[in-house]
A and B are shown apart, each in its own frame.
Chain A
Amino acid sequence: MTRFSALSLVRNALSGNRDWDQQWPDAQPKTEYDVIIVGAGGHGLGAAYYLAKEHGITNVAVIEKGWLGGGNTGRNTTIIRSNYLYDESARLYDHALDLWEGLSQELNYNVMFSQRGVLMLAHNVHDVQSFQRHVYANRLNGVDNQWLTPRQAKEFCPILNISPDARYPVMGAALQKRAGTARHDAVAWGYARAAAARGVDIIQNCPVTAIRRGANGAVEGVETARGFIRAKKVAVSAAGHTSVIMETAGVRLPLESYPLQALVSEPVKPCMPCVVMSNAVHAYMSQSDKGELVIGSGTDQYTSYSQRGGLPLIEHTLAAICEIFPTVTRMRMLRKWGGIVDVTPDRSAILGKTPVPGLYVNCGWGTGGFKATPGAGHVLAWTVAKDEPHPINAPFTLERFTTGRLIDEAAAAAVAH
Chain B
Amino acid sequence: MLLIHCPYCDETLPESEFAYAGEAHIARPADPSATTDEEWRDYLFIRSNVKGAHYERWRHVHGCARFFNAVRDTVSDRFLTTYPAGAPRPALSDLEASE
A and B touch in the complex (CB under 8 A): yes
Q: Which residues of B contact A112 (CB under 8 A)?
A: none
Q: Check: B25 CB closer than 8 A to any chain A CB.
A: no
Give complex CA distance A308, B77 in Å.
Answer: 9
Q: Check: A256 CB closer than 8 A to any chain B CB.
A: yes
A residues 288-303 near B (Cβ < 8 Å) are: 301-303
Q: Check: B27 CB closer than 8 A to any chain A CB.
A: no
- Whether A253 lies near B49 (C-beta < 8 A) is yes
Give complex CA distance A314, B99 in Å.
Answer: 32
What is the interface residue range for chain A against chain B? 20 to 34
Q: Which residues of B contact A311 (CB under 8 A)?
A: 1
Q: Check: A217 CB closer than 8 A to any chain B CB.
A: no
Give complex CA distance A306, B19 in Å.
Answer: 19
- Whether B75 lies near A306 (C-beta < 8 A) is yes
- Whether A306 lies near B77 (C-beta < 8 A) is yes
- Whether A303 lies near B54 (C-beta < 8 A) is yes
- Whether A303 lies near B75 (C-beta < 8 A) is no
Min distance, Cβ A401 to any Cβ of chain B, angstroms: 5
Q: Which residues of A contact B50 (CB under 8 A)?
A: 243-244
Write out, one digit per residue, whether chain B residues 64-98 have a CB within 8 A of any chain A CB (1) or not (0): 00000000101111000000000000000000000
A residues 305-352 near B (Cβ < 8 Å) are: 305-306, 308, 310-312, 342, 344-345
- Whether A255 lies near B49 (C-beta < 8 A) is yes
Give complex CA distance A74, B35 in Å.
Answer: 43
Give complex CA distance A244, B50 in Å.
Answer: 7
- Whether B51 lies near A305 (C-beta < 8 A) is yes
- Whether B37 lies near A256 (C-beta < 8 A) is no
- Whether A402 lies near B37 (C-beta < 8 A) is yes
Please count how many residues in chain B sit with their CB below 8 Å of the partner chain's CB atoms. Answer: 27
Give complex CA distance A306, B72 in Å.
Answer: 11
Min distance, Cβ B9 to any Cβ of chain A, angstroms: 19
- Whether B49 lies near A303 (C-beta < 8 A) is yes
Asked whether A254 and B74 contact (CB < 8 A) given A303-B56, A310-B15, A403-B37, the answer is no
Q: Which residues of A contact B20 (CB under 8 A)?
A: 301-303
Give complex CA distance A310, B44 in Å.
Answer: 28
Asked whether A243 and B45 contact (CB < 8 A) given A302-B20, A304-B77, the answer is no
Q: Check: A241 CB closer than 8 A to any chain B CB.
A: yes
Write out, one digit per residue, whether chain B residues 19-36 have a CB within 8 A of any chain A CB (1) or not (0): 110110000000000000
Q: Which 10 pairs from chain A and chain B are nearest by CB?
A: A254-B45, A243-B49, A302-B20, A301-B20, A402-B41, A306-B77, A401-B45, A345-B45, A252-B46, A402-B37
27 CB-based A-B contacts, threshold 8 Å? A243-B48, A243-B49, A243-B50, A244-B50, A252-B42, A256-B23, A256-B49, A257-B49, A301-B19, A301-B20, A302-B2, A302-B56, A303-B49, A303-B54, A303-B74, A304-B74, A304-B77, A305-B75, A306-B75, A306-B76, A306-B77, A308-B77, A312-B1, A312-B15, A401-B45, A402-B37, A402-B41
